[in-house]
Structure 1
């Protein structure tokens, strides 16, 4: 039989309301009564019922998290960062996925209503304002890696365009001119931003943008594998391939190896995100390092600040920097020793 708040009150010889005040720290209680309540709760092994407490305080002690997927290294790192930051602030998590479909997003948000104190929301495939139409207006929301048309919500993004621009400039500096790009999902904000960075670098180098060098992808390893099969059928092959994320770069690397092509001697290859396994591929993968865990931690900080503030703070827009990390998968055309200048932010890892 579970111990109740009545049992604690009886053991401490105080009222139920006094036990509630002590355990929730809502009002001043004499030190003597506080000591008796805490000792009684400890002796009886009493643990407050979070559901019952939420009915009284209107707080759940939980944060909702809605992301497109939970598989893959990017989302594992992101959720680890969110979880660590939430635990530091004594919040637990309720996690749902949208699979990049609006009807699943709507169902996920509706399931979170009244079960969480606020929501972290990643919807790169749709504007943030469209996504929150499925939530009551009074629910605190912080977006991650999402496009917002206004400044009505807090958002933590990373520099997608700047990171992809740095990767493209790196390849151009190595002498590459036929640079193919395996793009992300057509409707995704981050994929569009990375493509914008590619075009910026080409323009800065005086090179024309040719959409024929773009191969559609969906951020999966299979997409990267199939994209390379398409590229290898072309009469003029690229000397370098830029994958819009590391997962597609891993698939591309497998397809190049199966075709008997060497990386980077025959084709240079780079990814984006710099997930942990990028440094362990053979050859190790040049990538753009996204501060994935920090992205999640910053978003939690913004959300908890909103939840705990007496007056909701003004929405903040943060853009985290992305670093170029040069490894063994990129080299000058023909695979010669690297002599070209690299971005000042680049680093060997």
Structure 2
């Protein structure tokens, strides 16, 4: 880690608000409003001022930091599951260590936050923002940079820009490990219920699943790969559909523990026993994985550690410390419990299929 040199301050201080006002053809108070995130500025004017601010890299460092609150902003695109609670715990732990409080915000299911949130966060002036599965426009990022508010993305849905640090997990390796576990048990008809098509972590898990099959000499069957949304209903719906196949799967790799819960419910309604009739592997290792009966075999994604790493990075950036890398992936690991077993040979052929 390297610290930004204080020698940069005099150079930046020569770029004054008056100079920015003169170059953009607006008044000094208007430039001040833009710098302070005030909403009462026309968008065309704001964009013009932001462009000049970005051109000169203008920062009122001492002033911005002295007025910054003792808040960490934690931004979700939705706050509806125990998955989010793990992230909150990780950020809150780091906030307590640093004498800070956490502000929670969500974008009502949208991956790109709205203008009202941006105006609110600029007014709050948090130490930094930890964003979960949120995409930001270039204009939003420019405004955050102009206020010297660092942003770190945890578990990014898409590919963050080169200037946006991110914390993720080894999703491809997790998908590979989960599928190899089922193959080693003797399963050959292994289904995969992933997440949304455009979400990077889902694509990586499916790629790992496919690699494990092909490495083992097993054909990749697109009919066994389904897309969900990482929630319970999707797991139920997709397993119910998979069970209608003439050659149904003997094992399922669910792309999240919540989808695995839906798989449990659909299997029970179909009269199947886990793991006797169907082996199930989840992903995340949420507390619910240990509450299920039987306890769920799953890939542990270190959610609390990822969130804590994101919070520490945001605080470091706010203190002027640049990271050695803008991309960090924490390791996943397989946790074997009681939802997986060798496939039973009860009136149907495991290797070639056939109805029970």
Give, in whole Å, the separation in 2 of the partners of 1:103 and 1:325: 34
CA positional deviation for 1:135: 4.2
Closer, same or farther in 2 for the Cα pair 1:57/1:110, shift >3 Å? same
Q: CA deviation at 1:298?
A: 0.9
Q: Aligned pair 1:256/2:263, yes or no? A: no
User: Which residue, 187, 200, 204 being the options, matches 1:176?
Assistant: 187
Alpha-carbon distance in 2 for matches of 1:55, 1:135? 13
Q: Give ranges in structure 2 of 5+ residues lacking alignment.
A: 1-62, 347-356
The separation in 2 between residues aligned to 1:194 and 1:132, in whole angstroms, is 30
CA contact (8 A) 2:186 2:343 kept: yes
Query: Structure 2 vs 1, CA of residues 105 and 273 (structure 1 numbering), >3 Å: closer, same or farther?
Result: farther
Corresponding residue of 2:215:
204
- Inter-CA distance 328–118: structure 2 relative to 1 (3 Å threshold): same
Distance 2:289 2:336 in 1: 11
Question: For each residue in 1:138-196, what CA deviation from the matched residue of structure 2 results, as whole angstroms up to 9, or x when unmatched?
Answer: 32111111143554222111111111110000001111111111111122121111111
Aligned to 1:140: 150
Q: How do 1:7-46 and structure 2 match up within 5 A?
A: none
CA distance in 1, matches of 2:226, 2:323: 43
| Pick aligned residue for 2:340 from 309, 330, 335 | 330
Structure 1 residue ranges (4+ consecutive) displaced by more than 6 angstroms after TM superposition: none
| Alignment partner of 1:96 is 2:101 | no
Distance 1:211 1:109, change over 3 A: farther
2:326 to 285, 308, 316: 316
Indicate the residue corresponding to 2:117 in structure 1.
Answer: 108
- How far apart are residue 130 of structure 1 and its match? 5.8
Q: In the alignment, which of 275, 287, 296 is matched to residue 298 of structure 2? A: 287
Partner SS, residue 260 of structure 1: coil
Taking structure 1 as reference, are residues 100 and 204 closer, same or farther at Cα in structure 2, changes over 3 Å only?
farther
Structure 1 position 193 matched with structure 2 position 222: no
1:298-317 Cα offsets, whole Å, 9 max, x none, are 111111111123x6455532
The 1:164–1:139 alpha-carbon spacing in structure 2 relative to 1, beyond 3 Å, is same
1:247-288 C-alpha deviation (Å, 9 max, x unpaired): 010011011011110111111111100101201211110000
Please give the alpha-carbon distance, in whole angstroms, between the structure 1 residues aligned to 2:67 and 2:212: 51
Kept in 1: contact 2:149–2:318 (CA 8 A) = no
Residue 186 of structure 1 aligns to a residue whose secondary structure is coil
User: Which has the greater radius of gyration?
Assistant: 1
User: After superposition, what is the alpha-carbon deviation per residue over 1:303-332, rounded to whole angstroms, capped at 9, x for unaligned?
Assistant: 1111123x6455532110001011111111
Q: Deviations over 1:74-113 (max 9, x none)?
A: 1101101111111111111111112441454554334212
> For 2:302 and 2:122, how far apart are their aligned partners in 1?
30
Given that residues 110 and 135 in structure 1 are in contact (C-alpha distance below 8 angstroms), is that contact kept between their aligned partners in structure 2? no
Q: Per the alignment, do residues 148 and 56 of structure 1 end up closer, same or farther by CA in structure 2, a change over 3 Å counting? A: closer
Give the 3 Å change call, closer, same or farther, for CA 282–131 of structure 1 in structure 2: farther
* Larger displacement relative to structure 2 (129-138 or 229-238): 129-138
Q: CA deviation at 1:208?
A: 2.2
Deviations 1:192-232 (A, max 9, x none): 11111111211211222221111221111111111121112
Match of 2:229 among 179, 203, 218: 218
Q: 1:313 to 1:168 in 2, by over 3 A?
A: closer
Distance 2:192 2:238 in 1: 9
User: CA–CA distance in 2 between the matches of 1:117 and 1:280?
Assistant: 37
- How many residue pairs match? The answer is 280
Using the alignment, how far apart are the partners of 1:231 and 1:201 within structure 2? 20
Aligned pair in 2 of structure 1 residues 324, 230: CA closer, same or farther (>3 Å)? same
Q: Kindly tell me: are residues 233 and 191 of structure 1, through their superposed partners in 2, closer, same or farther at Cα, counting changes over 3 Å?
A: same
Change (3 A) 1:312 1:328: closer
